[in-house]
Structures are given as structure tokens and as C-alpha cells.
Copies of this chain bind each other. A is one copy, B any other.
Amino acid sequence: MYSFKNDYSEGTNPRILNALIESNLEQVDGYGEDHYTLEAAELLKQKIKLSNIDIHFLSGGTQTNLITISAFLRPHEAAIAANTGHIFTHETGSIEATGHKVISVEVNDGKLSPDHIKSALGMHTDEHMVKPKLVYISNPTEVGSIYSKTELEQLSSFCKKNNLILFMDGARLGSALCSKENDLQLSDIAKLTDAFYIGGTKNGALFGEALVICKDSLKEDFRFHMKQKGALLAKGRVLGIQFLELFKDELYFDLAKHANKMADLLRKNIESMGYKFLTYSPSNQIFPIFPNKIIEKLQEKYSFLVWSKIDEDSSSVRLVTSWATKEDAVKAFLKDLKNLTC
């Protein structure tokens, strides 16, 4: 049984394990104040080409989202998210648990536009309603789409004009940045958002996300929030060492490119067999629509999520590739699909 269920089925890239081994018995300071973590932060600043940004390393996406959003907002302020946004759907009310409403906006393709936000603002006009203050976007989105530079510029400009914080969830940012259709650089994102994070867990790390805070007024005392929410690892080095390895050369991007290449292979071939897709996705998650009978057959050899019912006879499924996805497995899947299709 080969899994296309997600991009966190395997452990970590071997280079990261090696880096952990090599540094293992060195004595360093705790709580992310060790030299590995400091170097990793410096390295990321270079990659992002900005020095006046703050970098913090956290353990996972939900943790990063909830600490960041609760640190940025006052009690009456709310986040705006797409109705597919991870914080709205799959984080067990973690934002609400910190006291903040998530205002959801109906979208088609996982992406928010200024018009969506404008409509949310229009419905929140006085003190009987929460005050929308932060815009949460994911890139790639939860349905695989990615933001173009123009789209992000428009969002950024709208947020600035309306005094809104723009925050990008980059759990799969590697895949977005390495998509063939991407025209955004890390440095663009840092200029256009107030904060974003670079996901490690879903791109080859054992675990870990690198939060980048770009806007000065949001930086103060961030480590207090991390500690208060249980996110300051005693052996913080574990996070620093991983990001150092991922970014000391092109590893982070190489891993994402492999994941994307595997997704491209799946997409191209599935398309050529005549199947449609639920969403337009140029990243490492794709959502083809198959007859239920074929899905059942595929499930005998492959694990993946059945995503949504299309009609009585067919459903969309989610296929996810990663840095560790084997080309042989992809080819075997395609071959099996081909046979089932004929």
C-alpha cells in the first residue's frame, strides 16, 4: 500500500538527520538561543534579502497560526479567512480558543481577493460586531492553488489602505515557490505581507516552521507568546539545525521541486486520460475526479483521501506528493489507473 495521503508520511530528509547527528553531543543554550538557531535565522534573512525582519522557529502549523494571530490582535479583533482556510476548518477552533472570531468568506478556488475582504469589512461596521483586523491567506491554498505576484500585490495594497494585517500561512510554501506558474520570491512575500511562515514539516523537516515577522510593530515580545503557548522547546536547537540544513544551499527548494515534479507527472497523465480536476492546482496537491468504481480499485493498492462527492457515480480525490514520493510509485499508480480506465 503506497500512500499519497499527505506530505508528512515519512520522517525527514537524511541530510537533516545527519545534521542532527553531527551536532548531537555539543552543549548549547536552550530555548532557541543556541548558535545553530541564531545562524539559521541569519541565513533566512539573507535568503529573504531583508535584515529588519524577525525569525522564530515553531513546531507546527496550527501552533504557528494560533500564536501569531493571538499575538497580533487585540481582544475585539478578528481574522478574515477563506471558507476553505485551514484556521477556519481544520484547527479545532484554535484561533477562537485564543478569543478571536474567524470571519469566513465563501471563495471558489481557496484564494482571497480584495473584493472578498471588502465584503467582510462591509458587514462589520460598529461595536456590535467584531472588528476585522487580520487577513489570513494560505499559499498554496488548501485546494492547491497559488497566488500570483499581482494578486498578492493587490491584497497587500488593499490591506495597507484598510489598516489590516496580512498574514500568509506557508505550510506548503516550498511547493508554491517552486511551482512552474509561480512568479513570487521569498523577498516579494516579505515585502508584501506583514508576517508569513516557511513550512518545514511538509517539506522534508522532521517538524518545524519558520515564522517571519516583517512589520516592526508586530515584533515586540514575540518570544513571550511562544513560551506562554508552550512553543519554546527546551532543545530549541532541533529547529535551528533543521532550517540551517534546509537553507544552507538549495535543499529546501530541491525537495519542493521533487514534490512538484511528481505532482506534475500525476496531473499531466491523469489529464491525458481524460479526467477532470476539482480545482486548478499547480502545486503538490491535486484533486482529480474519478468514477467511484475506479477509486475503490485504486484504494486496494494506494491510500489517499476521497475529498468530495461530485455526483452519484464519481468523487474527487486528493493526491499529495512530497520530497519523498518515489517516481516508481507514481508510475505504478498511473499504470494502474490507465488499466482501470480502459
Contacts and interface: CB of A to CB of B under 8 A. Distances in A.
B25 A324 contact: yes
Interface string A93-124: 11011111110000000000000000000000
Question: Which of A5, A21, A76, A131 is the most central at the interface, judged by chain B CB atoms within 10 Å of its CB?
Answer: A76
A78 interface: yes
Given A96-B101, A202-B234, A227-B92, A11 B3 contact: no
A57 interface: no
A135 interface: no
A59 B200 CA distance: 17
Contacts of A64: 230
B221 A234 contact: no
Contact of A24 (B6, B14, B23, B225): B14
A224 B131 contact: yes
Most chain B C-beta atoms within 10 Å of own C-beta, residue among A26, A65, A206: A206
B24 A9 contact: no
Interface residues of A, number: 76
Looking at chain A's contact residues, the main secondary structure is loop
Given A92-B128, A127-B227, A324-B25, A221 B76 contact: yes
Contacts of A233: 59-60, 201, 207
Given A74-B71, A231-B63, A10 B30 contact: no
Interface string A1-23: 01101101111101001001101
Nearest to A30: B8
Contacts of A29: 5, 9
A266 interface: no
A52 interface: no
5 contacts: A10-B24, A74-B74, A96-B96, A131-B221, A230-B230
Closest 3 CB pairs of A and B: A63-B230, A11-B24, A76-B224
